Amino acid sequence: MLSKPETIANLSVKEYCFSKKQIKGVVVASQFKWTFTWSFNKGLLLVNPPLGRALIQDALLRFLLKKDYELEAGNEYKFIISAKF
């Protein structure tokens, strides 16, 4: 039986500002690296650079929606993406 393809993404929270209702951080998966801003009151996720953004955006948004109240600035987290890249 074939195993499902997956990639581990490492997320680092750089800033959590409750007054702005924003989380800023960095995600690294395989050879890709992105910065993100999650405006949780608006449900808006900005990911840069655009190169490879489609690979991470949906999985990152699901992770943030599930864990945003547990995240703290300065901490690092891991989540699995159901794709190999």
Within-domain flag for 1: no
Q: Please check the confidence at residue 84 and state whether its pLDDT lies above 90.
A: no
Residue 62 in domain: yes
Q: Is residue 14, in this structure, part of any structural domain at all?
A: yes
Question: What domain count does the chain have?
Answer: 1
- pTM here is 0.90
11: exposed, middle or buried (C-beta count within 10 Å: 0-12, 13-18, 19+)? buried
The position carrying tokens 């699995």 is: 80
The residue segments making up the domain with residue 62 are: 7-81
Q: Tell me, yes or no, whether 74 lies in a domain.
A: yes
pLDDT band at 57 (very low <50, low <70, confident <90, very high): very high
Tokens standing for residue 80:
């699995």
- Segment 34-58 shows an average pLDDT of 94
User: Would you say residue 2 lies in a domain?
Assistant: no
Q: Which phi and psi (to 5°) does residue 64 adopt?
A: -65, -40
At 9, which amino acid appears?
A: A
Highest mean pLDDT among 18-22, 34-38, 52-56: 34-38
pLDDT at 85 over 90: no
